[in-house]
Structure formats: C-alpha cells, structure tokens
Structure 1
Amino acid sequence: MENKFGGYYKKSREERIKILKDLEYIDEKMYNYLIEEKSLENYKADKMIENELGIFGIPFGIATNFLINGKEYIVPMATEEPSVIAAASNGAKIIAKNGGITSKVQENRQMIGQICLYDIDDFSKSLKILEENKEKLINLANKYHEGINNLGGGAKDIKFLKKGQFIIIYLYVDTLDAMGANILNTMLEGISFEIENLINAKKLMAIISNYSLNTIVKASCKLKVDSEYGNKMMLAYEFAKEDVYRAVTNNKGVLNGISALTLVTGNDTRAIEACIHSYASKDGKYMPLTKWEYKEGYLHGSIEIPIPIATVGGSIGLNETTKIALNILKNPNAKKLSEIAAALGLVQNFAALNALVTDGIQKGHLKLHAKTIMEFLKANEKESNIVIEKMIKENKIEIEYAKKILGEIRNEYKL
C-alpha cells in the first residue's frame, strides 16, 4: 500500500488541501471552498433549524491509511476531540500492513417503522384480519411513496404483534441511499387509515424506529502479533465484557470515529448512536461492540453493529462541507458508507486498546493538550516547542505552569 500521505500531519492546512486536489479527492471548486475557509451559509442554516442565530464550527479533517475490502480510503471526520484522527490514522496504518479490514453490510438493508394501536376489542380477531390483508397493506404503503418503489426500494414486509395492551405493526422498507424518516412516516400515516377501517382499534402513533436491526454491518481484521501483546488485547476485551463501566467507555471510543464520520456526512448522529448503544444491550446486558481474540499467533478483531446511515436526503445536499466529505470517499452509496463506518469504528477501538495496553492513553493526549494550551497563549512555534517539552517532562500540563515557563523563556531568550 503506497503511502501518499506520509508526514501529512506535519504540513500546513493549505498544503494538506492541495494534496487532496492533486490526488483528485476534491475538485477545484471544493479546493477553493476549503482554502477560503467558507462555512455553511446562514440562509441555508435558517432553513434547517428554528430560531437560527449562527454557525457553530467543528474541526473537519481526514484520517489516512485505511484499507477496506482491498481499497484505499482516506476518511473524513468532524470532531472537536484531540487525538481521535491521529489515533484512527495510526491504527489504520498498522491494520493495513496486515491486510486491512473486511467489511460487509447485510444484503436486505431495511429501515423499520411502527404503528401503535390501542383500545382493541378482540386481539385474536384483529391480528387475523391484519394477516389476511398483509399484501394489500404492503402494496398500499408503496402507493404512498411510489418514487422509492420505482427505484427498486419501498415496503418489503409487514408484521403484527400483540405487546401488552397494544397491537404494534412493523413496516420494513428498503430506503436505498436515504435514511428514510420521511419515506417511512409518509407510508405509515397512509396505511394507518386503512388499518383503522379494517379493525376496531385506535391509532396512538405512527413513527419510524431508530432501532434499525436490518442495517447490520460486520467488519473484521487479523494481525500477526506476539503472544504477550495478543493476550493483553484479548484481556482488554474480556474486561469490557465483565464490567459495564469499561464497556461504556470502550463503545464511546468506537463512536469517536463513527460519530465523526456520520456528522461530517450530514447524517443523524443521535439516531445512529442510539441505535448502536441499544444494540450493545440486545442480550439484556450492555456489552462491548468489538471483540478481540488471540489464537495461533494472530489477533482477530471484529465488530457487528447496525448503522442506519444515508448518502442522500435530509441536510446532506444543503451543506457544501458534507458534499466535500462524500467526494473524498468517492461518493459511496449508503451500503458502502456503512461498511466504511464500521471499519472506522473497529480501527478506532484498536487504536485505543493498543495505547492502553502499551504506553497508556495519556501520552498522546497530553501532548495534544499541551499544544492546545500554547495555542490559547498565542505562543510562537519556538516558544511552544520549549514549553511543551518542559510540561511533558515534568508531567504538568497546566495553563498556569505554561504561563510561568513562557514568561521565563521570554525573559531569558528575549523572545
């Protein structure tokens, strides 16, 4: 795997953007947009939310060195947390040298919508009538959104279950490259009128579910490692299995990558995070999303998660930065983007565990925190290098200590 991004982090922002243009990850228009430090225009933002006041900025960068299903990727990410992109790039580099990541989304990728019925006179009779009209209801749902049906998507199945005092109807829809909230909700509202005519019941609500179990993605990797390291990584997984306090932090690390990718591609981060965290509890106990196993000289890593991600619809087309991010990924469809997201989550977890079982997580964090302090103090490069080295040596990454050292070196060197 040729390293086209060697020393990328050492270059200036302008140089990094030019490399993306030279390698044809972005075009001239996108290059100019980034160089000119443009942002989402207020007139667009005002259409996206209520009571809009301005634009809140989040740093946008790329993680390098990814090899997914035999193809090289650089992965766009929007995050405010230091070390996330660096960790992803380093983790991806190690895994790429060992053959990269295999990632695969399930074939019948579908979103789920629900209709909740109450005040039901006869459950058995109502369920029987609904089952008898199953095909009719599926066809009717597709008439309420013929566009998605004509493209090969649309309603594919419908199920009816009694749960407590309710009958809950589950509509399964292939939304293609859209997340599908508007598609599902339109279909659900449409067929609910027919359902109320079929049986003696009242509709409580009709709404998409964000627990999207028909969007499962599996990603895996294999690394040749020594037994001491392999066993430590396996023990780190066992620790997360046994202790929910660790499992939550483990999964937060997975989402460091996935949430950063979903945000920059214009997706609903809350829906995806809720779905993934719920999946971690599917067996009645909150569990780690990743698995690491050491056997016969190899460390095997895997992740299995639902990712209801999209590449069209919503605010995706409104934000120029989102278009740039998708262009950097060569404009994948929703299935491909979900495979990239799962691979990123696995890499992010590997990078975190690798740091924890070797040097510890703080080493990289402290240096980045020290750099942030020097930026805040508006120190020049020479001053920053001296102060950062002293803070790390003394293990004292504090703004007041930095001010003290900065004052001393300015007096000494007349900087």
Structure 2
Amino acid sequence: MAAVVSGFSKLSKNDKIKWLAEHHFENDQNTIDTLITYWNSDNQLQQLHDEFTENTISNYYLPFSVAPNFLINNKRYTLPMTIEESSVVAAASKAAKFWQTRGGFKAEVISTQKVGQVHFMYTGDVEQLLHFFTSLKPKLFTAVSEITENMNKRGGGITDIELKNKTTEIDNYYQLHCTFETVDAMGANFINSCLEQFAKTLITEAKEYSGFSNLEKNIEIIMSILSNYVPQCLVKASVSCAIKELPSTPLLSSQQYAEKFVRAVRIAEVEPYRAVTHNKGIMNGIDAVVLATGNDFRAIEAGAHAYASRNGQYTSLTHAKIQDDIFTFSIELPLALGTVGGLTSLHPLVKLALLLLEKPNAKKLMEITAVAGIAQNFAAINSLITTGIQQGHMKMHLMNILNQYKATESEKKLLIKYFETNAVTHSLVVTQIEKLRS
C-alpha cells in the first residue's frame, strides 16, 4: 500500500524521485537511473516540460513521425503524427500514396460553433424566469465585454445564449446554453471564463429582479463549463474514383473490391461491436495529428464518439457508396481544434508540426485532421477485405518483438530477412531468436 505523503508537490524533482524510490521501487538504482535518463539535457527545455503539468519526475517520449504524400484540396501535405502503435503511420502513408493519383482527398469545414453551459436550479414560476431571461440576456453580453474584446477583434465571440428548461430530466434544472466562435483558438479557457462570469451575473441580477419572489431569487448555480460535444463544429472529408481505378487481383476484381468495401462499412454502420473498433481505427489517425499539433485528443475522442451515438445507436463515422460506377468514401465528425494558445507556442515539436503544415488556421487543421482519419480507415478496411489486418500489422510489430528480446543488429538483419517470406507471429519470432542463439 502506498505511503501517505504531505507537501509532495513542493519537493524538488530529485526529492520526489527519492521518495518514490524509497516507497515504491525498493530504492532500485536502475529505476532511478531510468527516470533521470529521460530528462532533457537542455535544462531550459526540461524546465519547460516540467512546468506543463504538476509533479513531473521525467519525460514520457512518444515517436514523432511524418506521413508524406497527402494531397488535400489539390495541395500537398506531410502530416505530423505522434503515436506509439506500429502500423498507423505506415497505413496512413500507404493510403495517401494510393489516393494522390486518384484526385486526392477533398475536405471542407461545415461549421465551427462551440458550446458551453451554466447549469442551475430554480424553483419558481417558469414564466417569470422567461421574463427575467429576456432582460438578463443583453446584460450577460455586457458583463463579459472585457473578456470577449480581443476575440471579437479576431472575428469570434459569443454567438448566442439560450435559456433551456431541463425540468423533465431533473426537477428544477435549467441551463444557459451558450454558443461561441473561437476562430483559431480551441477556446476552452475563453469559454469557461465567459461562463463563470455569466453565472455571477445571473445570481446578481436575479437578486435585484422585481418579478421574482424572495424564494425565486435564490437561484443555485451547480456548475459552469464548456462542452466537448460540439456537433456544430463539423468537418467533412472524402475520396472518390471510378471503380476501375480501385485495386484488382485474380481473387478480387475492382468491382468486387468496391462492393466488399461498401459492405464492410455498412456492417460498421449497423453493428456497434464492429463500429467501436472501426472508429477506433479512425481515431488512430486523428489522435496522432491532434497530439502532434498540441491539441486535446481526449476532448476530440469524447466528442467524436458522442457524435457517433447522436441518433441513439453507436455507428460508423465513415460511409461508402457506389453510384454510376463511382466509388465514394467519406467521413463527417466534430473537431474542435486550435492553432493558437495552449501548447502551440510552447512545445518545440508542436511548433515544428504546425510549421510542417505551413502554419494552418484552425479550419485548415480540421480538414487535415479529418483526412488523417479517413486515410487510416481506408487503409484498415483495405487490409481487412484483402489480406487481413494481421499480416501488415505484425510485419510492423516485428521490430517491437525483436527489441523486447534485445536482439542484436546481426540478429535483426537475419530475422527481418526471414520474415519477408514468413508470417509474423510472436511465438514464431521467439522461436527463431532461440534458434539463432542456440
């Protein structure tokens, strides 16, 4: 059982590690050395990383990779991708290469509206609350004028404030449902600052409103917080080509390939067990770009999966069809992304990632990120309906297994050669390593 500690956050990094070693790692020097090995040798850069969060003791590195050959709206991009899964970057790159000679990817932002809510309890007459809100609404805008000034200058700000009656779900429950345009910022801090001021103004104005009884003046604020469900912050991406341009083999004609592909997507549309894995593959590509560009991949994940469930059943985020001998594959999902604020001006690799993408605005980044998702999904389905997912995945996973068993460079060369013509399985790799070493 972990020991109780007070004032841990005030300890130096070395003292934090010393405490951990004593109470969790049996003072193992190798463990201590491992933590210190991953410190950055540049003290200034390490301090920057230390201050991103609290109780930092080391750095957790993920590969920073690139996927070239993405043709998006007739412009070429090399996508930055931060992810540990071995086959993701290779799959994205393969899909990009395939579609660059077939017109590339088309993408467009449909809307960029974001949402925040003030949740509160009110026990009085509903009609009086509606009258009160009519007079309150302009005062809410005025109350946040200093907060919104710079955002307004950039073309953003508060787009609307609605009073919503939620008493059918919870007794006496209401909300101020607020919508925002945050331009190139993800906007979480901006939205939350506005919401907290709305809550204060709501309470103040309610106490002074002559139409309320003394009981009705006692509005209780439960919380004020943005929502990561942003169904009006949408982006679409698609690819299409003549069926004859699709892959063809002796076992599967281009027409059969197209039909099988459409059926595979249709299964993900109607079968939640398949849809979850299907969409997880989409998020492999999306999360990798989101993380590389310093955005909040947890928020993106939550919003995407909520959108996949918006009609009452979890379903595919991508869709495929055949019409007039043309194959079309598309995706639509919410992506609340930013290219200013947060880590975008702090993390050196985030700055590099945005430079690699030629300093996109938020809308452009939404398009690029959606394309990463559909490319990943295309590559996955292509494998599933042809060779199967494991052949390519395990080929990429081979190096992980070899490193796990500390294979030497000479052993790696021999085993890579061997598995060029043999199926990769964990047990077979181990067997071949043992054979070499015996």
Report the TM-score range of the alignment, normalised by the length of the smaller protein.
0.7 to 0.9
CA separation of 1:193 and 1:398: change in aligned 2, threshold 3 A: closer
Match of 1:150 among 153, 164, 170: 153
| Equivalent position of 1:402 in the other structure | 429
Larger radius of gyration: 2
SS at match of 1:354: helix
Equivalence map 1:13-412=2 (5 Å): 41-107=45-111, 109-164=112-167, 165-199=172-206, 200=217, 201-225=219-243, 226-390=254-418, 395=423, 397-398=425-426, 401-409=428-436
Match of 2:212 in 1: none
Partner deviation per Cα, 1:187-213 (whole Å, 9 max, x = no partner): 111122221233332211111111112
Matched letter for residue 390 of structure 2: Q
**3-state DSSP class of the match of 1:205?**
strand
Q: Which amino acid aligns with 1:134?
A: K
Cα offset, 1:140, TM superposition: 2.9
Which amino acid letter does the alignment assign opposite residue 222 of structure 1?
S
In 1, Cα distance between equivalents of 2:273 and 2:81: 27
Are the counterparts in 1 of residues 318 and 331 from structure 2 also a CA contact under 8 Å? yes
Residues 199-208 or 280-289, more deviating: 199-208
- Residue type at the aligned position of 1:209: S
Unaligned runs of 5+ in 2: 1-39, 207-216, 244-253
Opposite residue 161 of structure 1, the aligned amino acid is: K
> How far apart, CA to CA, are the structure 2 residues paired with 1:147 and 1:308?
20
Residue type of the partner of 2:122? D
AA at the equivalent of 2:182:
T
Question: What are the ranges of 5 or more consecutive residues in structure 1 without an aligned counterpart?
Answer: 1-35
TM-score by length of 2: 0.80
Work out the CA distance in 2 between the residues paired with 1:125 and 1:132.
Answer: 11
Superposition TM-score, scaled by structure 1 size: 0.85
Closer, same or farther in 2 for the Cα pair 1:396/1:178, shift >3 Å? closer
Closer, same or farther: CA 320–389 of 1 in aligned 2, 3 Å? same
For these two proteins, the number of residue pairs brought into alignment is 374
- CA contact under 8 A between 1:142 and 1:149: conserved in structure 2? no
Conserved 8 A contact 1:138-1:156:
no
CA contact (8 A) 1:40 1:55 kept: no
C-alpha deviation, 1:136, in angstroms: 3.3
How far, CA to CA, are the matches of 1:209 and 1:409 in structure 2? 56
Q: Is the 8 A contact 2:118 2:198 kept in 1?
A: no
Q: Work out whether residues 391 and 423 of structure 2, in 8 Å CA contact, stay in contact via their aligned partners in 1.
A: no
Please report how far the alpha carbon of residue 99 of structure 1 lies from its aligned counterpart in structure 2 after TM superposition: 0.4
Percent identity of paired positions between Structure 1 and Structure 2: 38
> How well do the aligned residues superpose, as a CA RMSD in angstroms?
2.2
> How far is the alpha carbon of 1:49 from its aligned partner?
1.0
Distance across 2 between alignment mates of 1:354 and 1:142: 52
3-state SS, counterpart of residue 41 of structure 1: helix
1:122 maps to amino acid: D
Once residues 67 and 133 of structure 1 are traced to their aligned partners in structure 2, the CA distance between those partners, rounded to angstroms, is: 49
SS at match of 1:176: coil
Q: What code does the residue aligned with 2:221 have?
A: K
